[in-house]
Amino acid sequence: MLKDAWSLAIETLSWIELKKFSEHMALAKTVKQLSIRNPDAIRLGYGLVLETERRRNLIDKYLNHTLGSKKLEEFTVGIQAFLRLYVYQTRVTRDWEGFDLKEAEHIARLGRAILGWETLREVEPYLGFLLTQKIEPILEAAKDEEKVALQTYHPAWFVKYCFDLFGKEEAVAFLEGNLTPPETCIRLSTLRSSQEEILQKLDAEGVTLEKVEPLKHTYRVIRSKNSLNRIDSYRLGFFYIQDKASCFAAEAADPKPDDTVLDLCAAPGAKTTYLAQLMQNRGVVYSVDYSKRRMKTWRQEVGRMWVNIADPVIADARSPLPLQVEADVVILDPPCTSTGVFAKLPAAKWRLSPKSIEKMTDIQWMMINNCVDKVKTGGFLTYSTCSVTVEENEMIVERFLQRHPEFQLVDVAPRMGLPGLRGLEKCQRLYPHVHRSNGFFIAKLQKIA
């Protein structure tokens, strides 16, 4: 099992490095490629990937410090992945204090078995040094922003951005909040049964829950005897594993039974299935996404969750939408930098640069403008992202209101987050360190004339 887990971790990290895949995509490709079926091996391997990626900048800094004249990037991606995992397991898990020689020797044997003795021979001489070097000199030599970046495991440019946006004290709290993955939440499906009956069924399956207020159908998972996606209640569509920020977005949109709803960037289906639930499966939801691969998952989830009012539309929301509708509710959750989900998907941190924000705002601006004529007079446009940057959030909304005076900001209900920045207090923001969820922004606009 341990060899399978390490094989999976090395290969998954290699795909992330080579193709800039997300952790989920790289894991799925690796599981298929290596034909690994053991769920315990997959769980352990994926955990190694997430926690190594989470601390990648400090691990790389330590490796380059110890390797001396030869830099980490000069090795093959397989060796890079092994060295990062080796440092994580032998040093980071022990808070850089002491080491277990037998554990280190066992990991080295795993590396030889997976990568081959000839491949690993190049770095064998460094493995002992990596067990004994101190981390303190590296941190002490770093300047303020770089030191915070290394201590909280974020790119230095993003640390500076957060200092400028939130102030140093609040920025450090936010960055430290990204070190802990958000709590696992599920949304119960009242299309399938009553909440009371579902709660009884989940309790019988060994799932202990706690209600998330003020949301209607969302519960945090306190404990579960088995993986949530392997129990009968999941397979039968009694619940959806969904971050509470995502549940919040659907409730804020507040669709009513018999409404016409337009869900843009809809795959893989979390929003669509909750919108349909809130509509009691009455009315119509047009779900638009450009990705045929993601819409295949959307179809599976819509079926599993007993939704029968959703129509899939393969289209790119950056272009005029191929739908002749005026909707009561339009909900746009566009692609973003994902700066609010670093705790959940840490590899995203290392793919971004300041230019990424500019690129995403261009896409978001095109998409939100393509919503204008799809909202009926009196209808609502809900805009949300899982980013914390003002450029992708408040500044998009400000610009939109200047261009389209027929829209006005309205209050978001329920009141769950903190007020938006730049004076847009009717918007709401969620933060990992405050709300134990993904970082999130939401604005609700009504077409008044």
Q: Which of 345, 294, 269, 266 is nearest to 20 (CA)?
A: 345
Going from the C-alpha of 99 to that of each of 91, 112, 130, 258, the distances in angstroms are 7, 20, 10, 63
Residue 449 has pLDDT above 90, yes or no: no
| Domain architecture of the chain: domains with CATH | 2-141 (1.10.940.10), 185-241 (3.30.70.1170), 244-447 (3.40.50.150)
Helix, strand, or coil here: 409? strand
Burial 186-203 (b: 16+ CB within 10 A, else e): bbbbbbbbeeeebbebbe
Q: Give the mean pLDDT of the chain.
A: 96
pLDDT, residue 348, reads 95
What does the DSSP 8-state code read for residue 153? T
400 φ, ψ (degrees, to nearest 5)? -65, -45
Asked if residues 72 and 109 have their Cβ atoms less than 8 Å apart, the reply is no
pLDDT of residue 49: 98
Take residue 313 and report the two structure tokens written for it. Answer: 């539309």
In the numeric block, which tokens belong to residue 8? 């999976």
End-to-end CA distance of the chain: 63
So what's the pLDDT on residue 47? Answer: 96
Per-residue model confidence (pLDDT) at position 112: 96
- Output b/e per residue, 299-334; b: 16+ Cβ within 10 A: eebbebbbbebbebbebbbbeebeeebebbbbbbbb
Compute the distance between CA of residue 173 and CA of residue 169 in angstroms, rounded to an integer.
Answer: 6
Q: Please, which pLDDT band fits residue 68 given cuts at 50, 70 and 90?
A: confident
How deeply is 182 buried, as exposed, middle or buried, from its count of CB atoms within 10 A (0-12, 13-18, 19+)? Answer: buried
Looking at residues 367-396, what average pLDDT do you find? 98
In terms of Cα–Cα distance, which of 146, 175, 167 is closest to 54? 175
- Per the model's pLDDT, the better-predicted residue between 207 and 181 turns out to be 207
Distances (CA, A) of 315 to 203, 307, 327, 364: 41, 21, 17, 15
The residues that bridge with 188 in the sheet, in sequence order, are 239
The per-residue pLDDT for range 405-419, each reduced to its tens digit, is 999 999 999 999 999
CA dihedral 205, 208, 214, 216 (to 10 degrees): 10
- Residue 343 confidence class, pLDDT cut points 50, 70, 90: very high
Nearest residue to 152 (alpha-carbon basis) of 438, 442, 432, 435: 432
Give the integer Cα–Cα distance in Å for 39 and 228. Answer: 13
Q: What is the mean pLDDT of residues 25-43?
A: 94
pTM of the model: 0.94
Cβ neighbours around 104 below 10 Å, total? 18
Distance CA 105, CA 171 (A): 40
Q: Tell me what pLDDT residue 401 has.
A: 98
For 312, the token pair is: 């899939």
Task: Assign 257 to helix, strand or coil.
Answer: coil
Burial 411-448 (b: 16+ CB within 10 A, else e): ebeeebbeebbeebebbbbbbbbebbbbbbbbbbbebe
- Tell me the pLDDT band of 69, cut-offs 50, 70 and 90: confident
Query: 183: pLDDT confidence band, cut at 50, 70 and 90?
Result: very high
Under a CB-based contact definition with an 8 Å cutoff, are residues 331 and 253 in contact? Answer: yes
Return the active site residues: 386
* pLDDT of amino acid 98: 87
The pair phi, psi for residue 319, each rounded to 5°, is -110, 160
pLDDT at residue 339 above 80? Answer: yes
- For residues 29-62, b (16+ Cβ closer than 10 Å) or e, as one string? ebbeeeebeeeebbebbbebbbbbbbbbbbbbbb
